[in-house]
Amino acid sequence: MLARIDLALQQALDHVTATAIAPRLAQAARYAVFPGGGRLRPRLCCAVAAACGAEESPLTDAAAASIELIHCASLVHDDLPCFDDSPVRRGRPSVHCAFGEPTAVLVGDALIALAFETLAFASRSQPERLPYLVTNLALAIGLPAGLVAGQALEQEANVSLSRYQNAKTGALFSAATVAGALAAGCNAEPWRVLGSRLGEAYQVADDIRDVASAPADIGKPTGRDAELMRPNAVAELGLGGAIARLKLLVAEAQEAIPACPGRRMLQELIVDEAGGLLPKHLRFAA
């Protein structure tokens, strides 16, 4: 599955970088996407499509790639000096450190555009699902409650942790599950809850890693949430409370999977994946 996703991402990038008039921007765009992290969101998208009984298809691959392109764009913009000011991402210099701040702003914009172009390209002969795939992706990014809205909450006071995490992380996980179901031609809305629970679980695990991991293990600096006074699960619930919350979210996610041919397969996958999200010394049997 990972190979299919990376191939789809490769093709999307090749499509627009081969004749790029700004070679440095093209290089930076590729740098932002390869080598990837866990590709969690596009794998979730493909897993949902498979659970819905869909054959592997160019549309599923494009949907998965579009989700990951938005994720990469958001990482590039989140790392900017005016947000996290993070010098390191995935174990090497962040895009603005490697290519400069102007290029990093532009790379984010270009990857957002590429995500939509990738959906459109795969939909030329069958456009019926495209309006829903585009809307799903756009709402995951922007207003009223997409990841950009979640990021904006970092600038505001007295924000509810769950509302913040739902937008900042949950929106794209929900979009991943919905996109997988849409690409498979299924009724997609029932899949939104699964994505939402998994997104919140991922964010809680990320908060735990931020306090309980070594920087070398996660490829970025630790302790940033506390430094930046950002809403986070460990600050609110303590480490033990955060781990308990993670367990609950994983159980809720398993329950939230709609009836489909691959429900059991997907439940097992979620347990496996959740196990891998925590630092080794904190792992639980989910």
Q: Which is nearer to a second copy, 96 or 209 (CB)?
A: 96
Residue 80 touching a second copy (CB under 8 A)? yes
Cβ-based nearer residue to a second copy, 7 or 22 = 22
Q: Please name the residue that has the structure tokens 């996109």.
A: 179
Dig out the tokens for 143 from the structure: 């207003």
Q: Considering beta carbons, is residue 48 or 114 the nearer one to a second copy?
A: 114
| Contact stretch for a second copy (CB under 8 A) within 38-46, 54-62, 132-140, 217-225 | 132-140
Question: Residues 197, 249: contact at Cβ < 8 Å?
Answer: yes
Interface residue with a second copy among 5, 8, 9, 26 (CB under 8 A) is 26
- Number of residues interacting with a second copy: please give it, by CB under 8 A: 63
Distances 113 to 118, 138, 177 between C-alpha atoms, Å: 9, 11, 21
Closer residue to a second copy (CB): 74 or 213: 74
Contact between 227 and a second copy by CB under 8 A: the answer reads no
For a second copy, the closer CB: 155 or 281: 155
* Burial classification of residue 272, based on how many CB atoms lie within 10 Å of its CB (0-12 exposed, 13-18 middle, 19 or more buried): exposed
From 45-53, 125-133, 197-205, 253-261, span contacting a second copy (CB under 8 A)? 125-133
* Interaction of residue 67 with a second copy, rule CB under 8 A: no
CB atoms within 10 A of CB 107: 26
Q: Among candidates 269, 262, 265, 270, which has minimal Cα distance to 52?
A: 262
Is there binding between residue 142 and a second copy (CB under 8 A)? yes
Stretch that binds a second copy, among 102-110, 197-205, 232-240, 257-265 (CB under 8 A): 102-110
What dihedral angle (degrees, nearest 10) is formed by the CA atoms of 201, 135, 13, 123?
120
Q: Which of 42, 43, 146, 182 binds a second copy (CB under 8 A)?
A: 146
Binding site for a second copy (CB under 8 A): 16-22, 24-26, 29, 73, 77, 80, 82-83, 100-103, 105-106, 108-114, 116-117, 119-121, 123-124, 127-128, 130-132, 134-135, 137-139, 141-146, 148-156, 163, 167
